[in-house]
Amino acid sequence: MDQVLKELEDMDIGKIERNASLDKYTTYRVGGIADALIYPKDVLSLRKLLQVLKDAHIRFKVVGYGSNLLFSSKRFSGVIIRLDEFDDLEFLTPYKLRVGAGYSLVKLSMQVAKRGLAGLEFASGIPGTVGGAIFMNAGAYKSDMGYVVQDVTVLTPDLRIIKLENKEMDFHYRSSFLQSHPGYICLEAVLRLDKGDKAAIEEVIRDRRKRRMDSQPLNYPSAGSVFRNPEGKFAGQMIEELGLKGYSIGGAKVSEKHANFIINYDHATSEDIKNLIEYVKDKVRDKYQVELKVEQEFVNWE
């Protein structure tokens, strides 16, 4: 690994952090040490990086802000790639824009609101990147990325750059083509929005921010909603009816404010959080015969 990292440093592909502590790069604030964290500075650098890693048979994972990931406490033997430098924003027409995968989703929602563009109000409280949001088809308030994405430029497993139209992205509730084809990497996307009233849009964003602050445990590290809502039901309501609000394992706790949030309230380990997720899943299955689906991705648990 040291020899490969030296080669990459000589290639000047971007910032390289060795022995990166992943608790700094996930919203749960947990995780082990990765051999390296690399920020490629552009698409050419990313392709060079991936070619080197593939040739050397080194494991890698592309992440955004880590707002939907749960890394184990084990060492990640490989490279974590962040696309923070992929943060260009260009308005192609008054209602259409091109945005890089590393751009902040919250920042983007505020930028378009200032222009009186409607369609991204739902995203104003989602603490991820555009690329991560497209991967997860992030959403809220009965909307999601699938409603606003026109097309996505991706890097394929064989390092070709292609464009996928909205229909090809196969957006469904909290899922997309990218989840079922993990070798593809989102580079940028074109979003199409609608003309709206700036004051009305900003009022919606303010109202939803207040609702989040009132109903969600934003003062503790978490990864947002843990479970997807089953059809016709609310995961949080089922968990609350089971009396699990406040239930804890180690330093991880089911939020007393919102039962579908698990918080790192007292130096939780990754294992504390995962064990609590599994415990809640088991209790819901036993009571309701419902198999809850976890929104978060478990990484490095093999």
- pLDDT tens-digit series, residues 136-190: 999 888 899 999 999 999 999 999 999 999 999 999 988 999 999 989 999 999 9
Whether residue 55 contacts residue 155, with contact meaning beta carbons closer than 8 Å, is answered with no
Catalytic one of 47, 174, 212, 228: 174
pLDDT averaged over every residue in the chain? 95
Give the type of residue at 218.
Answer: L
Whether residue 53 contacts residue 79, with contact meaning beta carbons closer than 8 Å, is answered with yes
Question: At which residue do the structure tokens 């290639």 appear?
Answer: 11
Average pLDDT over residues 269-286: 98
Buried b / exposed e along 147-171 (16+ C-beta atoms within 10 A)? bbbbbbbbbeeeeeeeebebeebbb
Catalytic one of 104, 255, 270, 295: 295
Q: Does residue 137 sit in helix, strand or coil?
A: coil
Tens of pLDDT, residues 227-238: 999 988 999 999
Task: Report the topology of domain 2-82.
Answer: 3.30.43
**Where, residue-wise, is CATH 3.90.78.10 in the chain?**
218-299
Whether residue 88 contacts residue 108, with contact meaning beta carbons closer than 8 Å, is answered with no
pTM for this entry: 0.92
The pLDDT score that the predictor gives to residue 141 is 84
Q: How far is CA 78 from CA 13, 44, 62, 211, in A?
A: 17, 21, 11, 40
Give the residue, 212 or 259, on which the prediction is more confident: 259
The pLDDT score that the predictor gives to residue 190 is 98
Neighbours of 292 (CB within 10 A): 23
Q: Does residue 192 sit in helix, strand or coil?
A: strand
| Concatenated DSSP letters of 226-254 | -BPPPTTS-HHHHHHHTT-TT-EETTEEE
Whether residue 210 has pLDDT greater than 90: no
Whether residue 263 has pLDDT greater than 90: yes
Catalytic one of 124, 176, 225, 255: 225
**Where, residue-wise, is CATH 3.30.465.10 in the chain?**
89-201
The pLDDT score that the predictor gives to residue 277 is 98
Tens of pLDDT, residues 64-113: 999 999 999 999 999 999 999 999 999 999 999 999 999 999 999 999 99
Model confidence band, residue 211 (pLDDT cutoffs 50, 70, 90): confident
**Catalytic: 75?**
no
User: Which one is the CATH code of 218-299: 3.90.660.10, 3.40.47.10, 3.90.78.10, 3.20.20.70?
Assistant: 3.90.78.10
**Catalytic: 295?**
yes
**Where, residue-wise, is CATH 3.30.43.10 in the chain?**
2-82
The pLDDT score that the predictor gives to residue 11 is 95
The pLDDT score that the predictor gives to residue 209 is 87
Say which CATH class 89-201 falls into. Answer: alpha beta
| Concatenated DSSP letters of 240-297 | HHTT-TT-EETTEEE-SS-TTBEEE-SS--HHHHHHHHHHHHHHHHHHH---PPBSSE
